[in-house]
A and B are shown apart, each in its own frame.
Chain A
């Protein structure tokens, strides 16, 4: 079975632009979470979705938004990009209350 997939792998944007990151969960997993990892730190929770409903939001500004589609895939959107948004964005999926499994991440660089 395929694991969690994310696209694109790498992305370069300039300040003020908008970005959309995509995630496909493991087949059968209905929950998707997004995390941001900056260099030298552990991943920070951004959003959690279950059955297309937001179930949790981390301490991130309103420039960050997300949604989950009927097929359980998800998008993370970031508006008005800042240099500090440069990071590895990770998507994780889980089935029910089971362990979260992570995708390879999208490396976002903001210039």
Chain B
């Protein structure tokens, strides 16, 4: 049973435009959510996180939105840059610092 789902395997965006990556979850016990970025042959790099007590968190070009009633979160990247091209994973945990449950990833391609 896939508790965290990223239904779009890939996304292509023009440089300067907004990238929106989506993630859905089924476990209502999840209370902490994270986004990681991964280049080939490297480990995941932490981007941004959000606690279930918030519905938005911003860090520079990256904003994460959480809709608890819909069990949905999204990552917005504005403006998108070619260096943002990578695989993005959303992850969730039932307590901050607990084991992470990952989605399958979305490969973002930002074209110049």
The residues of A with any CB-CB pair to B shorter than 8 Å are 4, 6, 31, 33, 35, 40-45, 48, 56, 58, 90, 92, 94, 96-105, 107
Contacts and interface: CB of A to CB of B under 8 A. Distances in A.
14 contacts: A6-B43, A40-B104, A42-B4, A42-B105, A45-B100, A56-B99, A90-B44, A97-B96, A98-B96, A99-B34, A99-B49, A102-B45, A103-B43, A107-B41
Interface of B: 4, 34, 36, 41-46, 49, 89, 91, 95-105
A99 B36 CA distance: 11
Contacts of B98: 48, 56
B33 to A, nearest CB: 11
A56 B42 CA distance: 25
Nearest to B93: A100
Contact of A102 (B4, B36, B41, B95): B36
B43 A102 contact: yes
A99 B100 CA distance: 10
Given A43-B89, A104-B43, 16 more contacts: A4-B43, A6-B43, A42-B89, A42-B91, A42-B104, A45-B101, A56-B98, A56-B99, A90-B43, A94-B97, A98-B97, A102-B36, A102-B43, A103-B43, A104-B41, A105-B42
Contacts of A99: 34, 46, 49
Contacts of B49: 99
Contacts of A48: 98-99
